[in-house]
Structure 1
Amino acid sequence: MDLARADVLDRLERFYDAVPRDGARCEEYDALVLFVREGAGWPFYARPRLDATGHPTLADVTAVRARQRELGLPEAFEWVHEHQPDLLAVARSAGLSVLEAPLMLLEPERLPEPGTFSDVLVRVLDPAEPGFAADIALRRAVAAVGFANGGTARGEAGPAERDAAVAGLDVAALEEEASRVADGRRVSVLAGTPEEGALASGMAMRVGDVAEIAGVATLPSARRRGLGAAVTATLARELRAAGTELIFLSAGSEDIARVYLRVGFRRIGTACIAEPAAVI
């Protein structure tokens, strides 16, 4: 591994470790740390400790999974494969299914204008706007429908499903996102038309001069219109304008990674996301 790439991966490791710490307590299990969220929001994960001297073992994984079950948390683990290559086999031996997601870094000089991809308006959500709270709810509702219908193919789910999803959102989680946008730790965007409403959304988490773009989703009925790429480009431009130096993301599949290649990202590694294998 060349020195420049190694430095980038080290910075991403520190980012992954830092993101949960202001909203979670940390429980250490030898070479792993479990982040237990305190308050509203998505549950966090377990990952390798930054200061661990050894590699995570099957016993470590088993102990964390038992604690996650005890707390009613998802049995979720995340790590960068290039930093912990042995953990892949350990996780699989524990009966976990591992998504090996392309880990991608923005090359700023290759970042296009969002309008290159779509003529649909993409808005950065502004806490000063009177409709801010409703926009946050729409962002999360679009994401809920989009991720419930994964992939890049067009489908039936659309505005009606989005509007139905709004009613089921966790109010405390909405308030948490709004607070993080207001204090600059998060950037959220929506893409849509006056006739159809919100069609695509995305967000970014920022720690210092590093940010991760995540949650980019499009309603299935609005796919194949360039909206995911436009949302991603808008987020990246907003982050760059705010002085963010390192912008990265993880693609859920090779098909999705090809979308991000068009936005100026290149693959630098593999993000591993492990959870219990589905029982068929």
Structure 2
Amino acid sequence: MNAIETYYDAVPRSAARVEEIGPFTLFVGTGAWPYYARPRLGVVHEFTPVEIETVRARQRELGVPEAFEWVDETTPSLLPAARAAGLEVMEAPLMVLSGAVPAAVPDGVTVRTIDADDRALPAAVVAQDRGFGGTGEGTDGRADFLRERLRAGLTRMAIAESAEGVLAAGQHQPVGDVTEIVGVATVPEARRRGLAGAVTAQLVADATALVAAARRADSAASGTAGPVVFLSAGEDAARVYARLGFERRGTACIVG
């Protein structure tokens, strides 16, 4: 879990500025993605509702979401404090890949990794937005932001597409040998076809290949373990990810 905690502290810094507020680190997004506050890395602390409210006041002042994320097993005192502060907390299974299992790809569908110059990128962002309940409108800024991250290697993206267009999409965000799979979504009319699982499997394969390539370039790293690939998901989605080789290792607490 230490590797994941270190990752959680590192990954927002490529697109956010940082404020330290008591025992919290507040990440303030500088691009199209909003961020959250997290317990400061390495701090052992009994959190209180007052400390949470101090962060929320600063978030309101900045006009950013009153969002928090943490791992319950690492910071057990934060969940009761958040509830005492009146926050609604989603507890999502935190799952780590233990052994990749191939996913079936439906007939007529292609699953592939795309880069910054791929013509499908804008449609992929629209598909994600629709998959999460949006209309797909007004996503040009997000597509431009994501294009720059893809170009810089900060984000990797996979899509499932057919003659109908982009049906599902998702990303992973590598930092060293650790990466989190995020944003996997399927457009409403293409659900229950296994597309989210197929995209996730493609992202896992990409993460594994990415680390393997880096290690081939660094002979001193040869023979070491594979990447840490993880995600957090709702209970229904967690069952899908379990079939792909992910195991629950903890609980991701999410507010906002």
TM over 0.5: yes
Deviation at 1:91, TM superposition (A): 0.6
- Indicate if the aligned counterparts of 1:32 and 1:56 stay in contact, CA closer than 8 A: no
Are positions 1:20 and 2:12 aligned together? yes
Question: C-alpha distance in 2, partners of 1:36/1:75?
Answer: 11
- The residue number in structure 2 matching 1:88 is 79
- Indicate if the aligned counterparts of 2:94 and 2:250 stay in contact, CA closer than 8 A: yes
Q: Matches of residues 61-210 of structure 1 in structure 2 within 5 Å?
A: 61-108=52-99, 111-114=100-103, 116-119=104-107, 120-127=109-116, 129=117, 132=118, 134-148=119-133, 165=136, 167-171=137-141, 173-194=142-163, 196-210=164-178
- The residue number in structure 2 matching 1:255 is 236
- Indicate if the aligned counterparts of 1:31 and 1:55 stay in contact, CA closer than 8 A: no
Across the two proteins, how many residue pairs are aligned to each other?
241
2:115 counterpart letter in structure 1: D
- The residue number in structure 2 matching 1:272 is 253
Secondary structure of the residue aligned to 1:96 is coil
Percent identical pairs in the alignment equals 47
- The residue number in structure 1 matching 2:221 is none
Q: Give runs of ≥4 in structure 1 deviating > 4 Å.
A: none
Give the unaligned 5+ runs of structure 1. 1-8, 150-160, 276-280
2:110 counterpart letter in structure 1: L
- The residue number in structure 2 matching 1:60 is 51
Deviation at 1:26, TM superposition (A): 1.2
Secondary structure of the residue aligned to 1:42 is coil
- The residue number in structure 2 matching 1:157 is none
1:16 counterpart letter in structure 2: Y
Secondary structure of the residue aligned to 1:257 is helix
Question: C-alpha distance in 1, partners of 2:229/2:121?
Answer: 22
Deviation at 1:51, TM superposition (A): 3.7
Query: 1:135-190: CA deviations, max 9, x gaps?
Result: 222222111111117xxxxxxxxxxx5xxx2x41142x322211221222211111
Query: 1:214-263: CA deviations, max 9, x gaps?
Result: 10001111111110100000000011011161000001x21110000111
Question: C-alpha distance in 1, partners of 2:91/2:227?
Answer: 25
Question: C-alpha distance in 2, partners of 1:26/1:183?
Answer: 21
CA RMSD of aligned residues (A): 1.5
Question: C-alpha distance in 2, partners of 1:261/1:144?
Answer: 25
1:259 counterpart letter in structure 2: V
Question: C-alpha distance in 1, partners of 2:13/2:194?
Answer: 35
1:95 counterpart letter in structure 2: G
For normalisation by structure 1, the TM-score amounts to: 0.82
CA, structure 1 residues 63+170, in 2 after alignment: closer, same or farther (shift >3 Å)? farther
The worse-fitting range, judged by mean Cα deviation, of 118-127 and 43-52 is: 118-127
- Indicate if the aligned counterparts of 2:112 and 2:159 stay in contact, CA closer than 8 A: yes
Question: C-alpha distance in 2, partners of 1:144/1:179?
Answer: 18
Deviation at 1:117, TM superposition (A): 4.5
- The residue number in structure 1 matching 2:37 is 46
